[in-house]
Amino acid sequence: MAGSSHGHGHTPAAWTGVIISFIGFCVAGAFMVMAQPVGFWAGMVLILLGAVVGGIMRAMGLGQPKQAPLKMTAAPVVTREPATAES
């Protein structure tokens, strides 16, 4: 499993989407504390905008390239006979 996430998220599309969404979370949180519903919903729109921008950038080729699915092959099973004690 550790080898399957090589390069995961290290693309311009991922960074841009996350940064925009993070700014949206900060804006929504600040306006929620200040009890300003309009600012809160503006932050929520920024969060969705981050997802949309990241998706568009991925469609433009700036995201992680798709890999072909792995094919399962039958590997030979190697068994060892138990060691016997010689007397």
Q: What is the pLDDT of residues 62-76, one digit of tens each?
A: 888 777 677 777 766
pLDDT at 50 over 50: yes
70 domain-assigned: no
Compute the mean pLDDT over every residue in the chain, rounded to the nearest whole number. Answer: 84
Q: Is residue 77 part of a domain?
A: no
What percent of the chain has pLDDT above 90? 49
Judge whether residue 1 has pLDDT over 50: no
Determine, yes or no, domain membership for 50: yes
Backbone torsions φ then ψ of 73, nearest 5 degrees:
-120, 150
Within-domain flag for 58? yes
Structural domain including 45 reads 28-63
Domain count, the chain: 1
Tell me if 12 is assigned to some domain.
no
Tell me whether residue 1 is in a domain.
no
Inside any domain, residue 39? yes
Q: Using CA atoms of 46, 49, 51, 54 in order, give the dihedral in degrees to the nearest 10.
A: -120
Domain-located, residue 57: yes
The predicted model scores a pTM of: 0.67
Q: Residue 7: what pLDDT? A: 62
pLDDT of 66: 76
